[in-house]
Chain A
Amino acid sequence: MVTRVQTVAFQGIQALPVDVQVQVANGMPAFNIVGLPDKAVGESKERVRSALTSSGLSLPPKRITINLAPADLPKEGSHYDLPIALGLMAAIGAIPGDSLGEYVVLGELALDGRISTVAGTLPAAISAQSRDLGLICPESCGPEAAWAGEELNIIAPVNLLALVNHLTGNQLCARPVAKRRDRNLAFPDLSEIKGQEGAKRALEVAAAGGHNFLMIGPPGAGKSMLAARLPSILPPLNPRELLDVSMVQSIAGELAGGQLSDSRPFRAPHHSASMAALIGGGLKVRPGEVSLAHNGVLFLDELPEFAPQVIDGLRQPLESGETVIARANHRVVYPSRVQLVAAMNPCKCGMAGSPGHTCKRGDRCASDYQARISGPFLDRIDIRIDVPAVTALDMIEPETLSQANMLQNG
């Protein structure tokens, strides 16, 4: 007798169906998980055993085999604990097995039976909906799953006992409600910047059309300040964009409390970021900063300080709007249509071009520093402006366009 539970495996932002097959047979007591599990999935058997014991169940001394089909797809992540536990409980008769086939199940188990948060609930919910199945997920991920649709049947229990009570009809769990994070209304305001009218105009143009934007200027000119004010003049995400952004954030585990937000992502990685951190990849093929900034802004401060390979690695995503990460046995595609905003000093000492100043190293100071950015990368920048140092006079003069004015015009 084999019991089956449905779950998912994540490849990029796609959730592929995985069939968890559980068999409890006579023979030497054993507990084996097959189907190319990685270390975390392999360790699930300890978590499942302890969680079941804490919930008052014990595993029979039989030969237990768990197969995660398809057998040649590597299984990664910690969300297989709950489907395995449910399959086992059905196999030993603790819960009715017939209703299990109607749900996609994911969740990590704590040793005391609590169901812990996992990443990727939103793509899993959407996959469940497309297969006409319900979803069983951790309670903290419930609000995220509720965004997938009104008709989706979602069970989001706190622990194993609550889930068993729901499935046996003793005590039903409430359906989770989709929660939205309030927009951060306390964004820094553009009218706080005194002077720099040329830069403000260029920022407006960049915000209106989504163009890539580079600021060059001496230290203290206000480049980082300008960039920080860009989110306040960008429009909120429309529903389609919101879904894409939320899927990537869900896979990266960044949806806090399952709350979605319609403000555009604004990512500002430090210039020591590695290629994998910026573009994506690494251990579980996680999305990089450029994908986390999808439909938003990627701000690179001190552009020449980034490693040259990392900057050039951005060329392809900037042009095609997608990041393709290739591994030995599969290819993962993350969306990454971003607006790039960058800031840099004109030269190593920072003062080239300021009136009345010559660099100690002469013209080479500027040309060497600027040569660190490759030509093809610069070709992808639409708007390049000089942000001159702010003089004392600018600080005293009254500001011209106010925030409200700017929003209305553009």
Chain B
Amino acid sequence: MRARQIQADRYLKLGATGVYNNAATSAKVIEQVAQPDSESKQLLVQAAEKFNLSARAYHRVLKVARTLADLGGAQHIKKPHIAEALGYRIGFGT
């Protein structure tokens, strides 16, 4: 519930009406609130090349990473968040 509250407050502050969770945000907003640090960015670039991630997939990974960070109470996105988010996306056999 706390993670949900964090998300609701964040989007209220940003003035995004009708958005109450990470999944519903637009691509522009998620890039703002889920900026990966340099380590995570490297991981993302590698994964994007290796798995042919589309632009939509890239934004969706950021959204999941943002949720993971919220669950852990973290302010910024770190490598473990991106790694777990990627793991969920690439999950089963390609």
Residues of A within 8 A of B (CB): 202, 204-205, 208-212, 214, 216, 235, 238, 240-241, 319, 321, 337, 339, 346, 366, 370, 379-380, 382-386, 407-410
Contact = CB atoms under 8 A, between A and B. Distances in A.
B4 A382 contact: no
Interface in B7-57: 7-8, 18, 20-24, 54, 56-57
Q: Which of the listed residues A209, A319, A346, A383 has the most CB atoms from chain B within 10 Å of its own CB?
A: A209
Nearest to A209: B67
**Nearest 5 CB-CB pairings of A with B:** A209-B67, A384-B91, A210-B23, A210-B21, A209-B22
Nearest to B19: A337
A216 B56 CA distance: 22
Given A209-B64, A211-B63, A379-B57, A241 B20 contact: yes
Contacts of B66: 209
B69 to A, nearest CB: 10
Contacts of A382: 23, 60-61, 63-64, 88-89
Contacts of A211: 22-23, 60, 63-64, 67
Interface residues of B, number: 30
Nearest to A235: B4
5 contacts: A210-B24, A211-B22, A211-B23, A379-B57, A382-B61
B1 A209 contact: no
B88 A384 contact: yes
B74 interface: no
A202 B88 contact: yes
Given A238-B8, A337-B24, 12 more contacts: A208-B70, A209-B64, A211-B22, A212-B23, A321-B24, A339-B23, A379-B56, A382-B64, A383-B91, A384-B90, A407-B1, A410-B71
Contacts of B8: 238
Contact of B92 (A202, A208, A240, A346): A346
Contacts of B67: 205, 208-209, 211
A347 to B, nearest CB: 11
A205 B2 CA distance: 12
Contacts of B7: 208-209
A113 B61 CA distance: 60
Contacts of A385: 88, 91
A408 B20 contact: no
B1 A384 contact: no
Contacts of A407: 1
B67 to A, nearest CB: 3
A79 to B, nearest CB: 29
A348 to B, nearest CB: 15
B68 interface: yes
A130 B46 CA distance: 54
A209 B2 contact: no
Nearest to B60: A382
B53 to A, nearest CB: 9
Contacts of A319: 56
B20 to A, nearest CB: 7
Interface in B65-80: 66-68, 70-71
Contact of B68 (A205, A238, A240, A384): A205
Contact of A379 (B54, B64, B90, B93): B54
A204 B23 CA distance: 14
A335 B60 CA distance: 21
Contact of B23 (A202, A209, A241, A384): A209
A238 B56 CA distance: 28
A406 B84 CA distance: 19
Nearest to A335: B18
B24 A386 contact: no
A96 B83 CA distance: 73
Nearest to B67: A209
Given A208-B71, A211-B67, A384-B88, A410 B54 contact: no
Interface centre among A212, A214, A337 (most CB of B within 10 A): A337
